Structure 1
Amino acid sequence: MIDKNILINEFNFENDIIYLNCGSLGRMPKSSANLLNQYLQDEIRCPTNQYNTERLRNTYYKLKIEMSNLLGVNDSNLAYTQSTNIGIGTLLTAFTWNKGDKILIGDNEYSDGILPFYALKLKFGVDIIELNSENLIDEINKNMDEKVKLIFFSHIEYNTGVMHDLKKIRESINIGKNTKILVDGAQAVGQVNVQLDSVDFYVFPFHKWMLGPMGTGMIYIKSTESLKPIILSTLGLDYTDENKRVLRKDARLIENSSFNFWLFATILNNIMLFNKIGLENIYEHIRTSASYFISQLKSKDLVFINDCYYKNGMAFIELNEERCSNKLIEELENNNIYARTIPDTNKLRFCFHIYNTKEQIDVLVNNLINYREE
């Protein structure tokens, strides 16, 4: 049972905004916003005093420990990054690429996620092979050979809501000895329970389902053995007993040292809040909200909707060809309801989180019932 008082204190339910787009950018809890403001005020007074420096250092280590518990991994396997896109680019620059190396990529990927791979194609002559994500395991096995260096796909696809079973994929593919699996977790972490023992690399942001600010993210790295990064900082530096410089062998190897850790402090606060509410309670609320929305919508049998469905906390509506998704989004926004369209389709996506209520969903459904395209 979720303590409603916590939600009332953290999210303004009395305002007239119905926010359903945390798959793009989540709503930050009040306590995290207040914490960020306090940290910035402290930094204005004296950025590098002992108090601020020690608090920053504690944030660095404590957040990794909390995320390692959430993801079921060791904290030494986690590195900070600013976004999924930057995390992917950082990892790709750490590989040694040769002409003819192959990368297998699902065909339902977000553009920010796949653009770094096509830059590799231009620079190094690697071959990019797009797979039919509906049959991902069969497609991987069909295209697997000794040249395949990397397999990349989204844990949860942003444009369909389909969640791929990481363990099943690892166990069902004829993976090459030197082939690594890199997963985009942007739509998974914070929406569903994520365990990472089946992948080599996993990149995700904190500004979506984790409800943090933009410019925050993390990378899981099972092993740094194959990595030779060119983005380095003192965080990735270690010393031998003879006081000689050497590179670390854990995930810190690829970290940049110039992060704003006051932003990451809000994530640590969010995790404390999520633990208080109960992670399973949050996941269940997300699922049941999306399910309730679709069940209510289907009961109305609206003629301008070709299809509607939900996957976990993401609900999708496909309009018939006589209607325009962009115009519907515009009308919803005029009524203070925020969702998003899916590029190159006539679909809308609605993402539900802990701050969404049944009353808000009923308002959304009534808006769709009353929708008229001029």
Structure 2
Amino acid sequence: MNTSRRSFLRRSAGALALAPIVPVGRLALRGGRDGALPDSADHSSIGAGGPQEAWVARARAEIPASTESLYFQTGGIGPAPNAVIDHVSERLGFQNRSPAEPRISEEMARIEPDLRAQLGRVFGAGTEEVALTHSTSEGIAIAAWGFNWEPGDEVVISNQEHPANVVPWYVLRDRFGLVIREIDLGTGTDLIDEVRGQLTDRTRMVSISHVSRNNGRTLRADESAELGTLLRSRGVAYHLDGAQGPGCVVTDFRALGCDAYSTCGHKWLLGPKGTGALFVRREMLDEVQLSWAGSHSHATMDYEGAYTLLPSAARYEFGTRALADFAGFARAVDWIEDIGLEKVEERIQSLVDHAVEVVDRTDGLGVSSPRARPDRSGVFVVQLPEGCDATQLYNDLREDEGILGSPVREERDFRLSIHFFNTRDEIDTAIAAIAMRCA
């Protein structure tokens, strides 16, 4: 893209979001009415959009990706703050001083139980209901393979699922004769009616997204709880793919009413890659059986064939673990808690309000994701005009503008994952660039 066109995009967005970054103490100062500003800055002359809150400025200074590009890819992979990466590095160094030394190994061994307790407290589960995994996909696999499937048994999924919540069902279909039924979780459909319309006497599980990665629809806690009650009355297990949940929308395992909830640390929680969690309702621990196990899954065993499993969801864990990464996961949750989850979620919603307004006044573009709270999330999906290829748009924006978004399932949909560290100016710039590329 030539220089004059890039300059036009910046002017049309009313921002300098792609301008050079000038360090100011611990912060990085960017131009524009919503750029990162140091606490001591004079905010009185900032433009009509108002000043950047100091807490957002401090957070942006700790997230390198927020100043290296226009980062709207948190729904794919979130950028970790420096404090998280530093903590992983410190724990690795500490462990490596003498991994088998009891003083060191015992301290490292406390990481996992402490993290289970922390995740349970923050996201509405008992400590005994939390298993630590390496990804949302791993949690989905544990839930999917936890039942003795018979030919003709049915699972209900939706038309909004990530491959992680589709491919396991394909494999189970081909291996055991499972039947896959699908509901429409497009914007505006009725969750209960959709599921009820697919239930039969052979339905054994419903596995759908808490927040859709394709259209940003969020299951409200009340409708999810209602669905959970309906399914339990029919003996049907209920699993939620929560990859896009924690850190993006209010997430309370008990309030959602599901039996199992899979999530990860590396998206909206900004934790290390290779970390995740599976929440399993304590009453379902013996129903969701182990499909693979190993050392540390057991409470007792002998070499004559006797064993007992751990009485908690930790039974789904086994083997030598990357403890420093889990320590980083805990640090990431601490980091967001220090800011305040409610503050983060409210900031996301405010930015999405702005994104909706900008798209609405931009010719040729539409909004594919829900417009109103509480059905929406930070997964904001722009509908492109006819003939605009989302994959080509992704490549052009990434290569020419330094804007990182994502094509999704629908051919004309383009996703901007809007986290709290994004700014209104960045949203303006991204949408202006999309409009120009698709003109």
Alignment TM-score, normalising by the size of structure 2: 0.78
1:180 aligns with one of 232, 237, 240: 237
In structure 1, what is the equivalent of residue 179 of structure 2? 127
Please give the alpha-carbon distance, in whole angstroms, between the structure 1 residues aligned to 2:410 and 2:298: 45
In structure 1, what is the equivalent of residue 252 of structure 2? 195
- Give the SS at the match of 2:267: coil
- Give the SS at the match of 1:80: strand
Residues 242-279 of structure 1, C-alpha deviations (whole Å, 9 max, x = no match): xx731123211211233212111111111111121111
Distance 1:370 1:121, change over 3 A: closer
Please give the alpha-carbon distance, in whole angstroms, between the structure 2 residues aligned to 1:85 and 1:275: 25
- Give the SS at the match of 2:197: helix
Query: Runs of 5+ in structure 2 lacking a partner?
Result: 1-52
Larger Rg: 2
In structure 1, what is the equivalent of residue 264 of structure 2? 205
Distance 1:177 1:248, change over 3 A: farther
In structure 1, what is the equivalent of residue 328 of structure 2? 266
Query: Runs of 5+ in structure 1 lacking a partner?
Result: none
2:279 aligns with one of 197, 216, 220: 220
23-32 or 329-338, larger mean C-alpha shift: 329-338
- Give the SS at the match of 2:145: helix
Distance 1:54 1:9, change over 3 A: farther
- Give the SS at the match of 1:3: helix
Contact kept? 2:134, 2:274, Cα under 8 Å: yes
Number of equivalenced pairs: 369
Please give the alpha-carbon distance, in whole angstroms, between the structure 2 residues aligned to 1:153 and 1:342: 17
Please give the alpha-carbon distance, in whole angstroms, between the structure 2 residues aligned to 1:166 and 1:128: 25
352-361 or 45-54, larger mean C-alpha shift: 45-54
Deviation (angstroms), 1:207:
1.0
Please give the alpha-carbon distance, in whole angstroms, between the structure 1 residues aligned to 2:230 and 2:60: 50
Distance 1:7 1:174, change over 3 A: closer
2:308 aligns with one of 219, 229, 246: 246
- Give the SS at the match of 2:110: helix
Contact kept? 1:238, 1:247, Cα under 8 Å: yes
Please give the alpha-carbon distance, in whole angstroms, between the structure 1 residues aligned to 2:130 and 2:145: 18
C-alpha root-mean-square deviation of aligned residues, in Å? 2.4
In structure 2, what is the equivalent of residue 58 of structure 1? 110
Deviation (angstroms), 1:164:
1.5
Please give the alpha-carbon distance, in whole angstroms, between the structure 2 residues aligned to 1:93 and 1:365: 42
Deviation (angstroms), 1:14:
7.9
Q: Which amino acid aligns with 1:347?
A: D
Distance 1:156 1:45, change over 3 A: same
Please give the alpha-carbon distance, in whole angstroms, between the structure 2 residues aligned to 1:15 and 1:191: 20
In structure 1, what is the equivalent of residue 379 of structure 2? 314
162-171 or 77-86, larger mean C-alpha shift: 162-171
351-360 or 200-209, larger mean C-alpha shift: 351-360
Amino-acid identity (%) = 21
Please give the alpha-carbon distance, in whole angstroms, between the structure 1 residues aligned to 2:345 and 2:395: 29
* Superposition pairs of residues 293-332 of structure 1, within 5 angstroms: 293-299=355-361, 301-303=362-364, 305-307=365-367, 309=369, 311-332=376-397
